[in-house]
């Protein structure tokens, strides 16, 4: 302890002994896992929420993108909060915000308050994720950081991977509101451990808060995601969409120009002076888009196209989540012993292979085949993340570690929010395109169509449907089959886009081939 009563890392390490580095890391991981678990646990509940509030997919996706956008917006605040108030106070405030958001979402009487609760949960997750990375880099020596990041990353990616499984069980047995309560006990445990093990010491000199930069960043994110959401409803050429996306570009440029001359920037542009860090930043964006985008698409596909229950939709992703427990410690050791670009590139290629396999999904795809295809991708993501984080931060001098940790996590979450939005748009547009292409082929004159209608009418007749309703009933069923087929083709196109994006990410990963130089 310091004379002022502040608890420093050194004082706590002396008090708790060699085990302290793991105790403080576990405390940071638990709070982070609780907040990140909520990022994907809601995905399997979307059909139930859409039915409860009578909303479409364009509004339902805000539950995912609102969370991820809030994560993105608050992530860069972490460095300033830790310097100003210390690890313990920052951690406690973030976990408290998460608990409040969970209560609000679980009791929400309308979609507006539900989305607000999700935004509060996301803001908490944005504060907690960089904090965990900073703790690992401060309590572990350089030779052990890769291994420690591999273990810490288990929680960061295992939580969203297993979220749909746990969420499905909760939705089927206790209703959709229960998914917002599930992580609260875990958060309370993390709050208790954090209060005991996290240091409270603050920086000797408080850095000025970059209020202008933060306001410009939030304005840019809001305008961007509002424009993407409006484009699905109003059309991409509408005046409102052009205005919102134009404002997003103006605010983004304003943010960059302000940060270049700010005395205490929210995101110091100098961290991008290192080619290796810039490459890892680009990889992190595509990484986030891939993991959050695929975790959004898969439960939606199996529930809307294959007719899975919420529980079964979650179970299909469980093997992929469990394999990460094995992959991440191995990937952490590889991050210590290999140059970062090698496991990063291998992991991205593996995920691209998985997404390309998912491009072949259909209504009759067996459960275990789908689970295996997803598993291959999660092995790839497990190989990528520790090397991506460790490689990015190794390139930076110690004074930029807080900024670098915030920036690399910002990239992953911004990529996730953008990926979910863009994949949702792609899915809707390509589903509509395939529906328009399929409908003219079923004009009732083809032999296959006539046979389908005859068989359907026979089934309806056996079910006791009046003769006057047989023709209309058979055409209604045909339209449902065409809609399902169009949806399946739309999902195939979306998975193909993910595969191509991952292959593209290999190029910036190669930037880490150069040894870290001066930032």
Segment 52-71, tens digit of pLDDT: 887 766 677 777 777 877 88
pLDDT, tens digit, 9 for 90 and up, residues 129-150: 778 777 877 777 777 766 677 6
pLDDT band at 157 (very low <50, low <70, confident <90, very high): low
User: Alpha-carbon distance 120 to 21, whole Å?
Assistant: 30
Longest CA span, the chain:
90
Report whether 493 contacts 426 (CB < 8 A): yes
pLDDT band at 353 (very low <50, low <70, confident <90, very high): very high
Q: What is the pTM of this model?
A: 0.75
CA dist 122 → 40, 99, 108, 447, 475 (Å): 11, 11, 16, 53, 45
pLDDT band at 516 (very low <50, low <70, confident <90, very high): very low
pLDDT band at 251 (very low <50, low <70, confident <90, very high): very high
Burial (CB < 10 A; 0-12, 13-18, 19+), residue 346, is buried
Considering Cα of 410, then 411, then 412, then 415, what sign does the dihedral take? positive
User: Alpha-carbon distance 186 to 54, whole Å?
Assistant: 32
pLDDT band at 254 (very low <50, low <70, confident <90, very high): very high
Burial code (b: 16+ CB inside 10 Å, e: under 16) for 363-388 equals eebeeeebeebbbbbbbbbbbbbbbb
With 60 as the cut, is the pLDDT of residue 19 above it? yes
User: Alpha-carbon distance 473 to 414, whole Å?
Assistant: 46
The label of the residue with tokens 């404002």 reads 247
What percent of the chain has a predicted confidence (pLDDT) above 90? 7
pLDDT, tens digit, 9 for 90 and up, residues 463-502: 777 777 777 777 777 777 777 788 888 899 999 999 999 8
Residue 205 has a pLDDT of: 62
Highest mean pLDDT among 143-157, 209-223, 257-271, 444-458: 209-223
User: Alpha-carbon distance 416 to 294, whole Å?
Assistant: 10
Q: What is the mean pLDDT of residues 441-450?
A: 64
DSSP for 239-280, written as a single string: HHHHHHHHHHHHHHHHHHHHHHH-SS-SS-GGGGGSHHHHHH
User: Alpha-carbon distance 75 to 73, whole Å?
Assistant: 6
Report whether 57 contacts 209 (CB < 8 A): no
Residue 45 has a pLDDT of: 79
User: Alpha-carbon distance 290 to 502, whole Å?
Assistant: 7
What percent of the chain has a predicted confidence (pLDDT) above 70? 88
User: Alpha-carbon distance 410 to 388, whole Å?
Assistant: 13
Please report, in angstroms and rounded to a whole number, the separation of the first and last CA atoms in the chain. 34
User: Alpha-carbon distance 469 to 122, whole Å?
Assistant: 50
With 70 as the cut, is the pLDDT of residue 1 above it? no
Using DSSP's 3-state secondary structure scheme, residue 514 falls into coil
Residue 15 tokens read as 């008090």
| Average pLDDT over the chain, rounded to an integer | 80
User: Alpha-carbon distance 403 to 156, whole Å?
Assistant: 19
Residue 150 CA to its chain's centroid (Å): 18
Report whether 110 contacts 53 (CB < 8 A): yes
With 80 as the cut, is the pLDDT of residue 404 above it? no
User: What crossing angle do the helices spanning 275-304 and 401-438 adopt, rounded to 10°?
Assistant: 40
Residue 139 tokens read as 């309590």
Q: Where are the domains of the chain?
A: 9-200+264-435+485-513, 210-263, 436-484
Query: 9-200+264-435+485-513: what fold?
Result: Growth Hormone; Chain: A; (1.20.1250)
Residue 451 tokens read as 């046979």
Report whether 130 contacts 389 (CB < 8 A): no
Q: What is the mean pLDDT of residues 253-280?
A: 82
CA atoms within 13 A on the CB side of 39: 35
Report whether 297 contacts 46 (CB < 8 A): no
**Backbone phi, then psi, for 315, in 5-degree steps?**
-65, -30
Rg for the chain, CA atoms, rounded? 24
The label of the residue with tokens 């691209």 reads 352
pLDDT band at 3 (very low <50, low <70, confident <90, very high): very low
Report whether 75 contacts 134 (CB < 8 A): no
User: Alpha-carbon distance 247 to 505, whole Å?
Assistant: 28
Report whether 419 contacts 289 (CB < 8 A): yes
Residue 6 CA to its chain's centroid (Å): 35
- Three-state SS sequence of 77-120: CHHHHHHHHHHHHHHHHHHHHHHHHHHHHHHCCCHHHHHHHHHH
Task: Name the more confident of 288 and 78.
Answer: 288
Residue 515 has a pLDDT of: 45
């Amino acid at each position: 302890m310091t004379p002022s009563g502040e608890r420093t890392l050194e004082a706590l390490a002396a008090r708790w002994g060699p085990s302290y580095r793991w105790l403080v890391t576990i405390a940071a991981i638990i709070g982070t896992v609780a907040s990140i678990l909520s990022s994907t646990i809601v995905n399997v509940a979307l059909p139930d929420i859409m039915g409860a509030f009578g909303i479409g997919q364009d509004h339902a996706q805000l539950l995912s993108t609102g969370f991820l956008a809030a994560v993105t917006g608050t992530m860069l605040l972490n460095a300033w909060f830790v310097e100003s108030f210390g690890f313990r106070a920052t951690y406690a405030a973030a976990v408290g915000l998460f608990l409040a958001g969970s209560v609000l979402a679980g009791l929400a009487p309308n979609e507006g308050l539900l989305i607000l609760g999700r935004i509060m949960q996301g803001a908490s997750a944005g504060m907690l994720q960089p904090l965990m990375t900073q703790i690992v880099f401060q309590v572990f020596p350089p030779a052990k950081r890769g291994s420690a990041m591999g273990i810490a990353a288990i929680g960061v990616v295992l939580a969203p991977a297993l979220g749909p499984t746990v969420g499905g069980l909760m939705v089927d047995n206790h209703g959709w509101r229960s998914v917002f309560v599930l992580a609260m006990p875990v958060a309370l445990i993390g709050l208790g451990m954090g209060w005991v093990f996290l240091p409270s010491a603050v920086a000797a000199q408080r850095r000025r808060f970059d209020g202008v930069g933060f306001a410009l960043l939030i304005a840019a994110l809001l305008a961007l995601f509002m424009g993407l959401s409006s484009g699905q409803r109003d059309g991409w050429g509408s005046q409102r969409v052009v205005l919102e996306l134009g404002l997003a570009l103006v605010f983004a440029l304003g943010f960059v120009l302000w940060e270049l001359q700010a005395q205490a920037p929210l995101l110091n542009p100098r961290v991008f002076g290192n080619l290796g860090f810039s490459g890892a930043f680009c990889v992190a964006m595509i990484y986030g888009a891939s993991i959050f985008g695929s975790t959004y698409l898969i439960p939606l596909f199996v529930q809307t196209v294959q007719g899975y229950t919420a529980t079964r939709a979650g179970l299909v992703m469980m093997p992929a989540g469990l394999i990460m427990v094995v992959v991440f410690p191995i990937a952490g050791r590889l991050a210590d012993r290999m140059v970062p670009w090698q496991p990063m590139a291998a992991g991205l290629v593996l995920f691209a292979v998985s997404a390309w396999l998912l491009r072949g999904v259909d209504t009759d795809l067996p459960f275990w085949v789908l689970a295996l295809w997803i598993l291959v991708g999660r092995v790839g993501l497990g190989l990528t993340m520790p090397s991506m984080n460790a490689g990015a931060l190794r390139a930076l001098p110690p004074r930029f570690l807080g900024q670098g940790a915030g920036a690399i996590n910002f990239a992953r979450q911004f990529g996730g929010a953008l990926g979910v939005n863009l994949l949702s748009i792609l899915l809707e547009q390509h589903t509509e395109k395939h529906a328009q292409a399929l409908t003219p082929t079923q004009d009732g004159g083809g032999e296959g169509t006539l046979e389908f209608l005859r068989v359907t009418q026979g089934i309806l007749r056996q079910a006791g449907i009046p003769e006057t309703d047989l023709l209309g009933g058979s055409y209604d069923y045909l339209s449902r089959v065409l809609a399902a087929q169009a949806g399946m083709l739309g999902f195939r196109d979306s998975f193909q886009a993910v595969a191509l994006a991952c292959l593209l990410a290999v190029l910036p990963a190669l930037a880490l081939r150069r040894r870290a130089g001066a930032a």
